[in-house]
Amino acid sequence: MLFRQIVGQKELIESLIKAVSLGRVPHAQLFWGPEGNEKLALALAYAQYLNCTNRLYASQGADLGGLSSDSCGQCPSCRKFEKLVHPDLHFIYPNNINGGSVKKDSQSLDYIDLWRETLLKNDAEFSYNEWIEKMDIGDRQAIINIRDCGRILQTLSLKSSEARFRIIVIWMIEKLSPTIASTLLKTLEEPEPQTVFLLVSENTDQILPTILSRTQMVKVPRIENADIERHLLARGVEAATAHRAAGESSGNLITARLRCSHNEIRENFHASFADWMRLCFRVDMPALVAFAERQKSLGRENLKFFFEHCMDEIHACLLIGNNCADKVFADAEEKKFWTNFSKFVTGENINHYYKIFDDAIFAVGRNAYVPTLITDMSMELCRVLAAAQQALKKAGNGAKA
Ligand SMILES: [Zn+2]
């Protein structure tokens, strides 16, 4: 991975380049920040840069997309880093048995092919949940376990084979089982020479303080929406879609990419959501049962996305109802529906709506039976809407969805 392939984060990249140029390479760094902000990609690009034997510099005429320096991408070290097969690049990440190819005593190494493939396919940007799904471990939790710690120690006991810096990347260090953390502490405190630990985390409050205190924290902020939009445009995404996906991404690249790939079905999502709310408003139970049956064909992943989409629509209604229409990305039909529906979305009931969809996303992940789940949701939504109508009547505003 090259620094110039990373979406946004220019300032942070420059600070890493500068530290390296001053010979300041801490032995343990923690790249932390919210999901979808290129932390893992940054750690990988940094690792590659540390070991590149032919670094490029803008001051020497290299075109590095606005950066002052970067890896060459061509030297033998870079080539191995780009394929993630460098013998001095080690990965630890949460894992568990999957009952299939990994039946007992799982460790990161059991999934190394899948890990490399997932990293390369997604430019090192994917969520913990996506990783769990890839491993196919069902509803088991993925953790970093004693075998993984054992492997780190074993790796450290061997001489590094060829690189300037031996790199150990631990993704989602917060998933380190607390009972075995002590195994790592001594290593983090007194590392082997020329060994660099790059820890990556989304929830630093779940990391043991003893680990935190032994690492240098590198805060990775959310990506700017403008950087995400530029990235999507460069990937050939149509301008309106890129603008919208970036605007709705909250600086999360994973969300933005998903939004783009779901753009086509998204129009159907809006139509489905509007129909559903109208049926709930009329408490048309036979039609609601038929609606629930139809949603089964979406499949679980799309269904989760549909529920997230419903929450976005509810949120848009709240914004419009509170004179913040300029914060909402919408076409004419959506805006018209949301403006009408916004009367039934208030500060009092918004959490009730969110809870209905949130619980449903959880239930879909737990293999709930879809038609029953959606029918139950419909009944709950009917109740929320009836209460909202009542409140409006009381306030003297008769209304129609
Ligand atoms: Zn190189």
Tens of pLDDT, residue by residue over 37-71, are 999 999 999 999 999 999 999 999 999 999 999 99
pLDDT at residue 228, rounded to an integer: 97
pLDDT at residue 300, rounded to an integer: 73
- The alpha carbon of 80 and the centre of ligand 1 are apart by a number of angstroms equal to 10
- The alpha carbon of 369 and the centre of ligand 1 are apart by a number of angstroms equal to 52
CA 316 to chain centre: 22
Tokens of 323: 């004179």
Is residue 208 a contact partner of residue 181, using CB atoms and an 8 Å limit? yes
The rounded distance, in Å, linking the Cα atoms of 228 and 149 is 36
- The alpha carbon of 89 and the centre of ligand 1 are apart by a number of angstroms equal to 15
CA 87 to chain centre: 28
Q: Angle 285-295/370-395 helices, nearest 10 degrees?
A: 140
pLDDT at residue 180, rounded to an integer: 82
Taking phi over 0 as left and psi of -120 to 50 as alpha, with beta for the rest, 396 belongs to: left
Average pLDDT, consecutive stretches of 10 residues, N- to C-terminus, the chain (401 residues) = 97 98 95 97 98 97 96 97 96 94 93 97 91 86 91 83 89 90 82 91 92 94 96 93 90 89 76 96 96 86 87 94 80 88 94 96 85 96 96 73 50
Matching residue, tokens 């109508």: 389
- The alpha carbon of 48 and the centre of ligand 1 are apart by a number of angstroms equal to 7
- The alpha carbon of 1 and the centre of ligand 1 are apart by a number of angstroms equal to 10
- The alpha carbon of 51 and the centre of ligand 1 are apart by a number of angstroms equal to 7
Tokens of 206: 């779940």
DSSP class of 126:
-
pLDDT at residue 6, rounded to an integer: 97
- The alpha carbon of 53 and the centre of ligand 1 are apart by a number of angstroms equal to 5
The rounded distance, in Å, linking the Cα atoms of 345 and 327 is 16
- The alpha carbon of 64 and the centre of ligand 1 are apart by a number of angstroms equal to 14
Is residue 117 a contact partner of residue 83, using CB atoms and an 8 Å limit? no
CB atoms within 10 A of CB 203: 14
pLDDT at residue 263, rounded to an integer: 67
Q: How far is CA 357 from CA 2, 269, 376, in A?
A: 39, 14, 11
pLDDT at residue 29, rounded to an integer: 97
| Cα angle, residue 22 at apex, residues 189 and 79 outer, rounded to 5° | 80
- The alpha carbon of 44 and the centre of ligand 1 are apart by a number of angstroms equal to 13
- The alpha carbon of 70 and the centre of ligand 1 are apart by a number of angstroms equal to 9
- The alpha carbon of 38 and the centre of ligand 1 are apart by a number of angstroms equal to 21
Amino acid type, 128: Y
Q: What is the pLDDT of residues 202-257, one digit of tens each?
A: 999 999 888 999 999 999 999 999 999 999 999 999 998 899 899 988 999 998 98
DSSP 36-79: TSSHHHHHHHHHHHHH-SS-EEGGGT---TT-SEE--S-SHHHH
- The alpha carbon of 47 and the centre of ligand 1 are apart by a number of angstroms equal to 11
Q: What are phi and psi of 201, to 5 degrees?
A: -150, 150
CB atoms within 10 A of CB 151: 16
- The alpha carbon of 49 and the centre of ligand 1 are apart by a number of angstroms equal to 7
CB atoms within 10 A of CB 363: 18
- The alpha carbon of 296 and the centre of ligand 1 are apart by a number of angstroms equal to 50
pLDDT at residue 264, rounded to an integer: 65
- The alpha carbon of 63 and the centre of ligand 1 are apart by a number of angstroms equal to 15
- The alpha carbon of 311 and the centre of ligand 1 are apart by a number of angstroms equal to 45
- The alpha carbon of 46 and the centre of ligand 1 are apart by a number of angstroms equal to 12
Is residue 295 a contact partner of residue 374, using CB atoms and an 8 Å limit? yes
- The alpha carbon of 78 and the centre of ligand 1 are apart by a number of angstroms equal to 4
pLDDT at residue 331, rounded to an integer: 79
Amino acid type, 135: M
- The alpha carbon of 102 and the centre of ligand 1 are apart by a number of angstroms equal to 36
